[in-house]
Amino acid sequence: MLKLIKEVLRVGEATLPYPFAPMEMMPGFRGKPVHDPELCIACAACAIACPPNAISITTDLDQGYQSWHLFVGRCIYCARCEEVCPTGAISLSPNFELAVMNKDDLREQADYQLAACSQCGIFFAPVKEIEYMLAMLQQSGASVENVAIARQLLSVCPECKRKNDIPKLASLYQNNSVSQEAV
Amino acid sequence: MVGKNGNYGDVYIPGVPNSRYAIQQDPNAGQLKGALLKDIARSVYVYRVDCGGCNGCEIEIFASITPLFDVERFGIKVVSSPRHADVLVYTGAMTRAMRIPALRAYHAAPEPKICVAYGACGSSGGIFHDLYCVWGGADKIVPVDVYIPGCPPTPGATIYGFAMALGLLGQKMKAVHHVQEDGERAQLRYPELPSGLRVGIEREARRMAGYLHGKTIADSFLDIVTTNQNDGFEKVDQEIQVYLEKQDDPRLTEIFTRLQEIYHAERK
């Protein structure tokens, strides 16, 4: 008996003091995904990567908004979103105290403006994404004129680009056939 | 509480999906629950209903009754019959086959009772939310008072959730809605470095250490480079050496050596 008491005293108290003291989490613990809406460019890479569709994107083409949604209640804390995020806007925090009374408190939303096509006026891509691409282009050493050209190209939606290309392609084809006839 | 036609669940509300199994709560349920929490002079008995989970949540519930986390010091005790239970914990996605047993457990527990949706699946169906046999979270069948998300929730999250269900701790999460402001722009990562160098280092780190760890390793490398490169390249190499000695990890050293080679090549 004395031996047992000695052993107990030697081992001490094993129980963690949580919730009376904060719990120490190990490095690399994956808790609640924290989204920095300022850094986010609404590119939807995380929504595509998310296995349980906890992150989703909805597009409102009438109002010109793209909304980023996170429903923590469905998150499995796999950090795939952190892996794929090009700007580092989302990362998994050590926060594990996520219990709620009201399910809607588990939801997060961020709305981003869409850019309208300069020709047809249809919304086609988030403004922040386009600006981020141009900033990257500038950083990679492109000249001011090239960035200006890129800005013009990026202000046109893919559909209009295709339509613009048709006359060019047609003239190219005509020139080709003419030159072939000449040969 | 068996319905008129002998089925479990009470009323069928036309136009509301799954409502044949919906439960009509006592109008005084909130008051009764408050009284239960206030006047309870004994331990809280918890019954665990697995509606079709992967057993991860069960393992974490049992981890939280071990001496390390020890929820029994708050009087929370896991019992083996819903008839003894004050708290019902629903784990796993609500599957079609388990909806009736889940209801039977609910009706077997004496009023007033507290329902907890446990884990990502219990809260919303989790990763199984769009499976053919999954109806969603526990709240599709029973009225839920507390949601404990997590996949699975750690014992810490379990203790926090139970403490919240018993009214001992407050809620910390709240809904967030951000609307883009005019002129809001995303900052580039490491704008002081040439983008080719950043991309090269990130690619190599991810190739060697996998995506998630590769990113953290590349970030720590680039942090050292950006904070010290104004003091000369020798200073960068020195700081990297100090960092590696502090970390004392041969795998990290190998990856950093490779990243340093890329950095040296780019510098020339």
pLDDT of residue B165: 86
B124, B157, B184 member nearest A74 (Cβ):
B124
Tell me, what's the ipTM? 0.84
Is residue B170 domain-resident?
no
Minimal-distance CA residue of chain B relative to A97: B157
Distance from CA of A149 to the nearest CA of B (A): 20
pLDDT of residue B113: 86
Is residue A62 domain-resident?
yes
Distance from CA of A78 to the nearest CA of B (A): 9
What's the mean pLDDT in B106-123? 90
Q: Does one domain contain both B122 and B246?
A: no
pLDDT of residue A105: 92
User: pLDDT by residue (tens digit) across B81-98?
Assistant: 999 998 999 999 998 888
Is residue B156 domain-resident?
yes
DSSP state of B151: S
How does the average pLDDT of chain B come out, rounded?
85
Q: Is the pLDDT of residue B6 over 50?
A: no
Is residue A37 domain-resident?
yes
Please name the amino acid found at residue A141.
G
DSSP state of B8: B
State whether B180 and A111 contact (CB < 8 Å): yes
What's the mean pLDDT in B208-229? 91
- The Cβ of residue B257 has, within 10 Å, a number of other Cβ atoms equal to 11
What's the mean pLDDT in B211-220? 90
Residues of B in contact with A91 (CB under 8 A): none
| Domain-ending residue, one of B117, B145, B165 | B165
A15, A99, A135 member nearest B148 (Cβ):
A99
User: pLDDT by residue (tens digit) across B168-197?
Assistant: 888 898 999 999 988 888 888 888 888 889
Nearest to B142 by CA among B103, B176, B171: B103
Interface of A with B in 70-109 (CB under 8 A): 71-77, 79, 82-84, 87-89, 96-101, 103-109
Q: Is the pLDDT of residue B2 over 50?
A: no
Three-state secondary-structure class, residue B47: strand
B67, B147, B157 member nearest A73 (Cβ):
B147
Q: Does one domain contain both B27 and B116?
A: yes
Residues of B in contact with A109 (CB under 8 A): 175-178
Beta strands in B41-169 (DSSP E): 44-50, 76-78, 87-91, 94-95, 114-118, 134-136, 146-148
State whether A128 and B195 contact (CB < 8 Å): no
Angle among Cα A80, A82, A86 to the nearest 5 degrees reads 115
Q: Does one domain contain both B154 and B208?
A: no
Cis peptide before B112 (omega within 30 of 0): yes
- Is the minimum CB–CB distance between A19 and chain B shorter than 8 Å? yes
Distance from CA of B239 to the nearest CA of A (A): 22
B195-209 helix and B211-228 helix, angle to the nearest 10 degrees: 140
pLDDT of residue A160: 93
Residues of A in contact with B164 (CB under 8 A): 99, 101
Q: Is the pLDDT of residue B12 over 80?
A: no
CATH code at position A128: 3.30.70.20
Is residue B184 domain-resident?
no
Is residue B31 domain-resident?
yes
Q: Does one domain contain both B226 and B121?
A: no
- Is the minimum CB–CB distance between A159 and chain B shorter than 8 Å? no
Is residue B176 domain-resident?
no
Is residue B185 domain-resident?
no
- Is the minimum CB–CB distance between A136 and chain B shorter than 8 Å? yes
Q: Does one domain contain both B200 and B156?
A: no
State whether A74 and B173 contact (CB < 8 Å): no
Is residue A40 domain-resident?
yes
- Please count the structural domains in chain B: 2
pLDDT of residue B251: 93
Domain that holds residue A54: 26-157
Q: Does one domain contain both B61 and B154?
A: yes
Domain that holds residue B57: 19-165
State whether A19 and B146 contact (CB < 8 Å): no
Interface of B with A in 208-237 (CB under 8 A): 211-212, 215, 219
Is residue B53 domain-resident?
yes
Mean pLDDT per block of 10 residues along chain A (183 residues) reads 91 87 88 94 94 94 93 93 92 92 92 93 93 90 90 92 89 71 55
Q: Does one domain contain both B90 and B138?
A: yes
pTM, two decimal places: 0.84
State whether B171 and A87 contact (CB < 8 Å): no
Q: How confident is the model at residue B261 (pLDDT cuts 50, 70, 90)?
A: very high
What's the mean pLDDT in B238-264? 93
Minimal-distance CA residue of chain B relative to A29: B154
Q: Does one domain contain both B152 and B46?
A: yes
Three-state secondary-structure class, residue B195: helix
Is residue A83 domain-resident?
yes
Q: Does one domain contain both B152 and B66?
A: yes
Is residue B174 domain-resident?
no
User: How far is Cα B49 from Cα B42, in angstroms, rounded to an integer?
Assistant: 22
- Is the minimum CB–CB distance between A24 and chain B shorter than 8 Å? no
A74, A77, A83 member nearest B211 (Cβ):
A83
- Is the minimum CB–CB distance between A69 and chain B shorter than 8 Å? no
- Is the minimum CB–CB distance between A18 and chain B shorter than 8 Å? yes
- Please count the structural domains in chain A: 1
Nearest to A163 by CA among A113, A114, A122, A115: A122
Q: Is the pLDDT of residue B29 over 90?
A: no
State whether B180 and A37 contact (CB < 8 Å): yes
Q: Does one domain contain both B134 and B215?
A: no
Three-state secondary-structure class, residue A81: helix
Please name the amino acid found at residue B211.
Y
State whether A140 and B130 contact (CB < 8 Å): no
